[in-house]
Every structure is written in C-alpha cells, then in structure tokens.
Amino acid sequence: MQKIKRRKVQKYAFDNRDKPCMRVKPGETFQIETDDALSGMIADDSDHPTVQSFASEHFARLAKATPGLFNPVVGPIYVEGCKAGDVLAVHIDWIDPWRYGFSGVIPRIGPLGDSLRYKECAEGYVHVLEHLPGPSGHTRDGTAKYSETLSWPLEPFIGTLATAPEREVVTSVLGQGPFGGNIDCRDICPGHTIYLNSYNDGGLLYVGDVHGGQGDTEFTGIADETRATVQLSCSVVKNKRLPCVRIDKPDSIVAVGINLPMEHAVYDATRNLMEWLAQDYGVTPRDIYVRMSCDPAFRIRTYQMVRLGTLQHVVGAEYPKSRLFDAVTPVRKAAARPAKKAAARRKP
C-alpha cells in the first residue's frame, strides 16, 4: 500500500502546478500522515510533551507570512482516469488521530477576540487534549481526555479536503469553494463519501487539517487540532459538475453551502440539495422546497463559522435517504466500488 509519511510533503496552497506526490488508481487504498494545523504545536508524544505557545517563535514564524503558514496539506494526489470536468469521489476508511491534540484561543481571533468583558477569551491559550485508544487498540474509536474529570468519544474528520482549482492558486488556510478547501466539515469522516469537482486531469487531491473532534461552528477558531494517519481511496464520476461539495452518508445526503453571511450559506446549501434531489433522485423542486419547511427530518448542519480573514461560513443541508423511497442516485452508482471491496469495508 502506498503511504506518504508526515512532513515528507507539506504544502500551503492548492496549486495545479505542483508535481503530484502520489499516483493512485480508482479504488486503490492509500494512507497519508498529516500534520496539525499549526505544524507541530505539540512537539512530541511523550508523557510530558513540549507544547508551543502563541507567544512562541514557532507561532510567530508561521504568522509572519501573509496569509499565515497555517493548515499544511499533503498533495496533490493524482487519480488515474480522472479528467477535468469529472467529479472525484473520496471514500474515507478510517482516521487515527495522534496521541495529542490541542485547542484553545488564538489572540484576537474568534467572536470574543476583542472582548473587554471576557478578557481571558481574547488572550492566547493552548489546551492539550490526550487521545486514548479505543477497543480496537487505535484512536479511531478512542476517547479525547479534556481534563482529569472530563472525556468524550473522539469523532475524527478531515478539516481540509480539496482539489486544485483550474485558474487560480488559493491558500490551504483561506481557500474554500466548490473544490472543497478549509471547510472544517465534521461529516468529512470515516464511512462517508465526499464528492469534489475535478478541474484538472488527475483531480489533484489535497488532504490535511485533521481534527479529533469539533463542536458546531468551531466557535473559537480552533477545534481539537491534531496530527493523524488517514486511510482512503478514490473513484471517478465521469462528466459531471456540482455546484458545491456533496457528502453521501450511510443514511442521508448532505449538500454543502459556503458563503457570507451565514443565511446566504444556508440558502446556497438548500438550493444545492434541491438540485441534487431533482437531478439524481427525481424529486421535484417544489416538492423538496415544501418538505424543507414541514418535514422534521430536514436539517441544517452548521460546520464552520470562524472569524478569520476572508473565511466564509460553511453549512450543510441534510435529508434522510429513507424519505427518498427507492430512488437510486446515478452519482452513487457511478462511484461505487467493486462489490467484493465494498462488502469487505462494511465489516467492523
């Protein structure tokens, strides 16, 4: 199995001029080791690790650039058979977070970054979380230890997943769009398939910014930031263009909206869901439009609402497959793995 080791490849932009760091075939499983969003805020995985502060030379060096050298990604990964004008389907098998993650407060960042009432919420602070293995012996089903008295299950996901745009270079910290990017969507997680437009031959996939978990909105701008090992594979949907990122979950589908202000992101996500259901499930636009108001199963998921530079807000419009009768989406058919592999991956 092909594997890219941590820091062997480290990029800070989605650039179609980058030389591919890996070439894979559709359905081929591969692994990537990712760095944390601040490139080593926790220096080691010992029992008493060295932790960088937001006043450290390490952070100052990253922040000196414009935009800052945050959110390192691995890529591009070239998927054979994927052409410009196709859709790249990314299947996530599992994610193993590193032993430690960190959260906290970046000075003057976040909704309370200029607060006089809550000054401690505007000052730099790093909080270390320990990731403990679960029943499998890995952290993929483990626990996040927040303090001696508080823990919760890890829910790891990929915060930055993108294909290289066609005619511009965007940074991995601020880049967002139909190609994906830094959208911190907690549904980009194991067991789900993520659909991204391909604007270049090979798709040119970038992966990074894994989180051990995240609350809705990522309110402070820092979730459970961690290094990780990710196992995934890709397939190709030929000759299709999407308005934005789509997510296929076992029991539901999610259409993503990226915009400012938040209500415009919601409008975009719902329109994107309407288009998906009309084109691939045969649901009429008026039908789903009405259902969005009266069906309690319809949900808006708030993923990212961070006050940082030009970052936009990210939401998802979600609808259960059980409400879609026996319709089958052509996208899912086209992106399906061989039957034997699909069956094998369903095993615990």
Token representation of residue 1: 């199995």
Domain 246-337 has CATH 3.10.28.20: yes
Element (H, E) at 288: helix 285-294
Encode 235-256 in three state secondary structure: EEECCCCCCCCEEECCCEEEEE
Alpha-carbon distance of 71 to 38, in angstroms, equals 6
Q: Which of 258, 255, 260 is nearest to 329 (CA)?
A: 255
Q: What is the pLDDT of residues 210-229, one digit of tens each?
A: 999 999 999 998 999 999 99
User: CA 268 from chain center: how many Å?
Assistant: 19
Residue 255 has pLDDT above 80, yes or no: yes
Q: Which of 87, 71, 79, 72 is nearest to 22 (CA)?
A: 79
User: What pTM, to 2 d.p., does this model score?
Assistant: 0.90
Instruction: Provide the strand spans (E) within the chain.
Output: 2-4, 13-14, 22-24, 30-34, 73-79, 87-105, 125-132, 143-145, 151-153, 157-163, 170-171, 176-177, 180-182, 193-197, 205-211, 225-237, 246-248, 252-259, 299-304, 313-320
How does residue 328 score in pLDDT terms, banded at 50, 70 and 90?
A: very low
Q: What is the pLDDT of residues 299-316, one digit of tens each?
A: 999 999 988 888 999 999
What is the helix, strand, coil percentage profile of the chain, to 5?
Answer: 15, 35, 50
Domain ranges for the chain, please list them.
246-337
DSSP state of 75: E
pLDDT in the model for residue 325: 65
Alpha-carbon distance of 97 to 45, in angstroms, equals 12
Whose tokens are 């939401």? That residue is: 315
Token representation of residue 259: 């915009």
Q: How many other β-carbons are positioned within 10 Å of the β-carbon of residue 215?
A: 12
How does residue 18 score in pLDDT terms, banded at 50, 70 and 90?
A: very high
Average pLDDT over residues 41-64: 90
Mean pLDDT taken over the chain: 91
